[in-house]
Structure 1
């Protein structure tokens, strides 16, 4: 039986379409000839994760990301297609990790120890870990700080290697060497002086020790002397203070006696204060004296008469 050309073309077209579908799914990571278990994982962010990204266990691929769906609360549900021959415990964690420095993501399974295995449609616990770039950033900052410090150190080294600075350092070392030599000379002179005067120094120390021993032996006597001095000083101060108080009391008593006599009318001052007649007499005398002075000023000839030639008759009033 002869096959028509149209039939051949149709069979070839169907084979090409089937081959195209198989190739497309193969490129997407879809397994066509094996059974798969569908699991889910919920993430808050999926930076760099796309459909067909691998699902790994210890770097070995056991499945792929079949679908990503954005939820109303902003979370993302990832649909994972896992080869059915691999069993995943229910308490396993689907960690979203970076796989390279370019930011590519993959889901790495951290297997749990549960005896119950995740069945088709089960939602696994999810976790988002920092990518490699995010982990490298702290190290990068530390490296920048270290480079900055190294730059400062190199600048300091360059300044040290400066010829002028080296000359100053040489001068400083020469000055230090001269100072040490002077100190050595002075030390030798001091040693010689101490050696020559050692006998005198020893005698001085012996005298000091003798004085110290005497002070120590007579410590009680010195204490008694100081006690006696304090006692005498206290008695002298107390005696002077008592005498002063007695004198003050006697003076106050005499003053009170005088005041009492004045109040009682004794003496001239007492009579003047207590006798009204003496006051009136003194007042009248003062008044008469005042009138006499006024009349003397008004009529001086009445009281004084003199002649140029030494003669003249005095007229009585």
Structure 2
């Protein structure tokens, strides 16, 4: 059977119209071949949101924005078409979020915890996430103010940094550099000294460890000694220390009085120390007595006579 050209043109026209209809509905967010539920909510501002923008849950697309309508109260009613495969709780919040840095928007469903599911055509709660640029703008203003203040501070500092100050500052930096070099040299010397004295330090540490161990092993003895010292201190504090001190002071005063008399030449000791004649006589007497003892030892017959059997003049 031969098809006429007119029939072919008609068929092509119908197919073109069908494709045009399907494409138009797809661009509007309507899926001709899929059954969908429709929900809506009202926003005060939908800047950047357009028809066919995606509706996502946790990053997964479940529908599209199907319609935007300006209401009499100035709000914008936004309709969503969601696939019937997904149940939407009645307390779900539809939030407008920024999809990219260019200002494009999307709808994010924050699923609620209600066990009652929203019916087809039911309203949802709405929310709008702050735009990234809106968040950055206050920070940008603060940064601009900070830059202005910093510029004024730097200008003031620059005016204060005259030639003399710069010269002194360079001199200070040079002194600091020299000090750091000296410190580095000292550190090197100390490291060398530590290297040469490493064995001695190890021995010292061993000795300290041994002493510490001995203290630990003799802890009970040390505690006993401290207790004895504490008891001795208590005993001493309970004795008549004041009376002892008074007696010591009185004895010291007596000694001072005796010393004063000796210094004044009173008494035998004082005369002996201050009278040269008495000293010389005593010295002469001592010398003569020494000579007498010596003569007695050498010639005892002159001083001692013995009479045996009644004889006389017998030495």
- TM-score (normalised: structure 1): 0.49
Structure possessing the higher radius of gyration over alpha carbons: 1
- TM-score (normalised: structure 2): 0.49
